[in-house]
Chains A and B, each alone.
Chain A
């Protein structure tokens, strides 16, 4: 069942520049935040959306959650047009902005939760049950009675997540939820999201810059850039397009003569280390190894793991973002 569909979604912002000297009026420029974006998401899917800063990711989330109205294009979420039937729509969604708090700053978080219960008109029984579940899953019990402002970033994010799930939304938007979190908090947050998605069938749209989030959570990834959708599919498929080179570092014992390598390889020396970048497609690793071995006695050899961030950077560069 299609849960979210968008068709030709376009949103432009008018940016007024500072008035230049000698001009009467300020110059205006139109910025296309989204440029005819179309996609659909099934119920229960976990989709990641990536793209450089200013690509339109947040604008997309804001339109899908009913905060902004697009100029043109059609959107339905669970059969509703978000900005036309805002109140009915937001009843079924939860949103977490990593950089913006939805809870009240100076009161214990459990008080914030009970006010949210009133706002969403959650029946008392459902609320109790859900709060207990979430308290356990997110490990909130030790700071339920602590004001939000005294919590660490990791605790705060868990509290925010709890707040956005209390009314049992069918769709969850997460905008950079792991920003600034330590490794342990990130891992437990990912575990929780996976469980929430699997067990309750919550549809999740995750916006992030952290490629590990995507790799760990999202079977499907969308790449946005300059307001356009550039890729929509599985992460390995995306990476294999750019994942063409490998890197090894070799350290020789004593003297060695540098091997003559094909043109596709690049060799840099850093002290006693030789760093070789090569394309396995044109030069098989076996062939490279025998070349290297012929040059001298190898003491150490390290193969660098592929770095997703580098791949993404290469991709952004190639897509001219």
Chain B
């Protein structure tokens, strides 16, 4: 509880720091809106052309897009320390400063950055979700709401876990992050569409390695009243837990890696 309080206080302070430069913030936020709006437009154009993809209707596709956007950008907004700021912290020596304080390193890394510009991306995602629910249409029940919450929560954890791979490589002073980006940003671009439209190797990648399909698509199928890839209904509640597993494993790897941390010159 104490840690949550610390996180919230840190976020408040970081927000106030960002608001010291309002013009810059406004422009960057708008730039984000154009970027994510463009992505959404691409989905709209596809829907316009094909009306449906495999078994998925236009509304379903909007729902998938929205779910991915909300999850991904929530992670980038509130997990900025892991998703973007970490390499800089290693290079500038800020990580040293964190090690000098009586708190967990990962807690402090998460407490030291926020990216409020993503708020527009999240808004686009929410809009897509609302449109998707209207068009599909989705008949909400308590269980569906639970599946949805689970999906977003564990989706964020899975993404944090995947971004942690980059941090771990960074501690070992390996600078090539392209491979990791293929999983994170690549995963986002691919899995904003339902997994079953992809060929087998990609399906395997996004189920076994980076389980976007398990965390986001299985519950989405449940919410949209579609067959769960041949699995029973409770799979919609179990599969998202794989996101927590990814995070857990990467958390342990991260802790181990910190032992090899070698700091930078004074």
Contacts and interface: CB of A to CB of B under 8 A. Distances in A.
Interface of A: 13, 58, 62, 65-69, 86-88, 90-91, 93, 95, 97, 99-100, 102, 104-107, 111, 115, 118-121, 147, 175-176
A100 B265 contact: no
A147 B18 CA distance: 13
Contacts of A68: 261-263
A67 B100 contact: yes
B17 A105 contact: yes
Contacts of A13: 262
A102 B9 CA distance: 17
Given A118-B9, A119-B6, A67 B266 contact: no
A156 to B, nearest CB: 15
Contact of B102 (A105, A106, A120, A176): A120
B17 A118 contact: no
A68 B43 CA distance: 49
Nearest to A111: B13
A107 B100 CA distance: 21
Given A100-B93, A115-B9, A119-B101, 10 more contacts: A58-B265, A66-B99, A68-B263, A69-B259, A95-B100, A97-B97, A100-B266, A115-B10, A119-B102, A120-B102
B139 interface: no
B218 to A, nearest CB: 39
B3 to A, nearest CB: 10
B200 interface: no
B5 interface: yes
B262 A87 contact: no
B196 interface: no
A100 B263 CA distance: 13
B97 A121 contact: no
Interface in B94-109: 94, 96-97, 99-104, 108
B73 to A, nearest CB: 23
Contacts of B103: 87, 119
Nearest to B16: A107
B20 interface: yes
A121 B262 CA distance: 28
A175 B5 contact: no
A321 to B, nearest CB: 17
B102 A62 contact: no
B101 A120 contact: yes
A40 to B, nearest CB: 22
A68 B93 CA distance: 13
Contact of A88 (B13, B18, B102, B266): B102
Interface in B74-103: 93-94, 96-97, 99-103
Interface in B1-56: 2, 5-6, 9-10, 13, 16-18, 20
A58 B266 contact: yes
B173 to A, nearest CB: 9
B6 A93 contact: no
A91 B10 CA distance: 19
B219 to A, nearest CB: 36
B266 A97 contact: yes
Contacts of B10: 115
Q: Which residue, of B2, B99, B263, B266, has the highest number of chain A Cβ atoms within 10 A? A: B266
Nearest to B260: A69
Q: Which residue, of A67, A86, A111, A176, has the highest number of chain B Cβ atoms within 10 A? A: A67
A90 B102 contact: yes
10 closest A-B pairs by CB: A106-B17, A58-B266, A91-B102, A87-B102, A67-B99, A102-B97, A106-B20, A95-B100, A90-B102, A118-B6
Contacts of B9: 115, 118
Contacts of B101: 90, 119-120
A78 B261 CA distance: 24
B96 A104 contact: no
A104 B17 contact: yes
A120 B6 CA distance: 10
Contacts of B104: 87
Contact of B13 (A58, A65, A95, A107): A107
27 contacts: A58-B266, A65-B99, A65-B100, A66-B100, A67-B99, A68-B261, A87-B103, A90-B100, A93-B100, A95-B100, A97-B96, A97-B97, A97-B266, A99-B266, A100-B94, A100-B266, A104-B17, A105-B17, A106-B17, A107-B13, A111-B13, A115-B13, A118-B5, A119-B108, A120-B102, A121-B2, A175-B266
